[in-house]
Amino acid sequence: MENKLLWALESGKFKLAKILIQGGHDVNFCTNTGTSPLMIACKLVARDQDVHEKLEIIAKLLATRANINAKDNKGRTALAYAMHARCKATIQMLKNQGLVITIDAKMKRIKGSDKKIWNSFDLDEEYLPFTTRDF
């Protein structure tokens, strides 16, 4: 893993992620697929008791100028990742920050269907041997 913050987020090590963010770690680092720490945080599937921590991390990322409008290589924003995780609180937080566009219309035409767009989330785990579903 090239980026400690991404590793901490994917591993569910929220305390470490907060320390790295507060310590000035690059919050706009992207993987070779264009995935940013904000996208990873939004994609995390949190248990009810962990949603507050997830929202706190997202708030810290946004407070330290994480690019809320960044798109991965498939044109998806953090809001698309939050929608994939089905976390209403995260979706609402991002919408309150003004993020409304989730997927490029151009990408939608190229890919052909919404199902392909959503299924493509399962293919973005190339940099870790586990997924957020493990937590």
For residue range 73-118, list pLDDT tens digits in order.
988 999 999 988 888 899 899 988 887 655 554 455 545 445 555 5
For the stretch 55-74, what's the b/e string if a residue is b when 16 or more beta carbons lie within 10 angstroms of its beta carbon? bebbebbbeeebebebbbeb
Q: Is the pLDDT of residue 14 over 90?
A: no
- The closest alpha carbon to 26, from 12, 8, 51, 44, belongs to 8
pLDDT at position 121 is: 55
pLDDT band at 128 (very low <50, low <70, confident <90, very high): very low
Domains, the chain: 4-124 (1.25.40.20)
Q: How many CB atoms lie within 10 A of CB 26?
A: 15
pTM assigned to the model: 0.74
pLDDT band at 133 (very low <50, low <70, confident <90, very high): very low
Q: Is the pLDDT of residue 28 over 50?
A: yes
